[in-house]
A and B are shown apart, each in its own frame.
Chain A
């Protein structure tokens, strides 16, 4: 049974997914691969920035993305009464 409440919850979930996956794509595929040469002209201490994204930065952002998603969804579940004890 598809209630409006369920629909609203799903829509909100999809909007979170879109934003987070956009960031996921940008830090790895755009910064780490497509624009790597351009970013390499910028330095981050001993690192070239593009290289740093490909071998370090993207991974840190991935971890942060999942934890942000956990936070957002736990809040959303509570709001809709879908959280379980």
Chain B
């Protein structure tokens, strides 16, 4: 059977599964819609969190980025996993004990102020919208490459599916579809990785395989370093970013991960505090399966790519090369007319351009794996993009119907009215996301980094201080959040979008890239919050009591009545 037939079959089966689950688990109350009724088991929540977290970027792009950047790619590996340690130790158990529905709920109550609530609603919407646009685009890309439909049709099919289970099932529907999506995406990621690891090193475990040796006894990584040296690239295992920048980017991604509202809100869905800790553990374990395999895939595909194309006759290259050439994602320009591919670091002599995003998608073809494996990768990419999109859409709809309408505009709204509002805002959110998927702003890539920076600069300090200090008051927290966000926005706009006079790499403050600047903005937020709280009145006694209460894990159900 052809790749296309296989892809239709696998995508058809998985989509039917998601819709079936959505119908079986539709939500009947606001509690079910926002937090799946609060009775999800730790393992199911861990699975759902892992699927929620691993987006099209993790599944499709990350291994490719590492493949081209070598050691520098480590920032994503450590950054996007290390954040879960912060989540499990500093946030999840306490927020679960607090026991409300959303992140702005916590900020608004802890800082006894609707201004604080509004600031955090604004941040949650900004972070989630920037993130979701990229997901819909990912859905469109997979559809267009593997099913040969137009990108826009792909986005619309994706929208209808997400709409169906997010609007119908709310958090409950999303949780159980995400459990299924994790299984699909991890299977799709691991199967080709294991095949290729056996092919290249004889070891079925990719994590060990990429430290292994080829048939001549040369270690794979040494061979790759050697190939890189020959072609003029920096050694694969050493990278080229400054240590300081790597440090700051890693920190920003870690803290940003811990501050992302669609991740935090998942820990509201379990029954008790101990379960919140446990599900953070499961989530990271399940995520680590993909994140420790990705660097192995990066090494395999990099070596494979160089060995297959470098200095080879263009006419004798395998079929996948011309297939991807057609999509424009591989470009070859025979500058010296010798009929061979010169792949070199020096831009003047280099004749080959390979898009980073295709490494995972093209890898099974490069390694000549069977057609069903290639189709499986397409289904996995869709699962990754759809699960993340759904989680983000839920945050957006809860921010509007719960934080804005119920908590600020119309507190008297009935349960039924709130549920309708939640569903309507989910519909609007899907449509807006779909619009950005069809008409992607040029800045999608830049805004994903912005989402992490913003989450790091705004939510993380406010939540951590709110739990670990009783003295931080609303004046401190609000000023801290506003200063953090504004500084981060300013830096991103200046160096990514050329506003405020723009600037180049040489103008970066302390040599820190915009991706790493979230760390600086976060520190400033902490400092400002603490200093201002010192010179303004302490929080009221009942707020200090809330803080004392969330530190003790027992009595969750009593705290939940509200």
Contact = CB atoms under 8 A, between A and B. Distances in A.
Interface of A: 1-2, 6, 9-10, 13, 17, 20-21, 24, 28-29, 32-34, 36-37, 40, 44-48, 51-52, 54-56, 58-60, 62-63, 65-67, 69-70, 73-74, 77, 81-84
Given A46-B219, A59-B288, A59-B291, A24 B85 contact: yes
B282 to A, nearest CB: 9
Contact of A40 (B213, B222, B237, B254): B237
Given A6-B551, A46-B210, A62-B84, 14 more contacts: A6-B548, A20-B89, A24-B82, A28-B78, A28-B250, A32-B74, A46-B212, A55-B77, A62-B82, A63-B284, A73-B553, A77-B553, A83-B274, A84-B272
A65 B178 CA distance: 25
Contact of B552 (A6, A33, A34, A60): A6
Contacts, number: 140
Contact of A33 (B212, B243, B278): B243
Most buried by B among A24, A55, A77: A55
Interface of B: 66, 71, 73-74, 77-78, 81-82, 84-85, 88-90, 93, 207, 210-213, 219-222, 237-238, 243, 246-247, 250-251, 254, 272-274, 277-278, 280-281, 284-285, 288, 291-292, 295, 545, 548, 551-554, 556
Given A46-B212, A59-B288, A70-B277, A54 B88 contact: no
Contacts of B556: 84
B292 A60 contact: yes
Contact of A29 (B84, B250, B280, B291): B250
Contacts of B243: 33-34, 36
Nearest to B548: A2
B553 A84 contact: yes
B211 A44 contact: yes
A84 B554 CA distance: 6
A-B pairs with lowest CB-CB distance, top 4? A46-B219, A54-B74, A46-B211, A55-B295
Given A33-B243, A46-B219, A59-B77, A66 B284 contact: yes
Contacts of B74: 32-33, 51, 54-55
B211 A47 contact: yes
Given A20-B89, A28-B82, A67 B281 contact: yes
15 contacts: A6-B551, A28-B78, A29-B251, A33-B250, A40-B237, A54-B77, A54-B78, A55-B73, A58-B77, A59-B81, A59-B288, A65-B85, A70-B281, A73-B274, A77-B554
Nearest to B93: A73
A82 B552 contact: yes
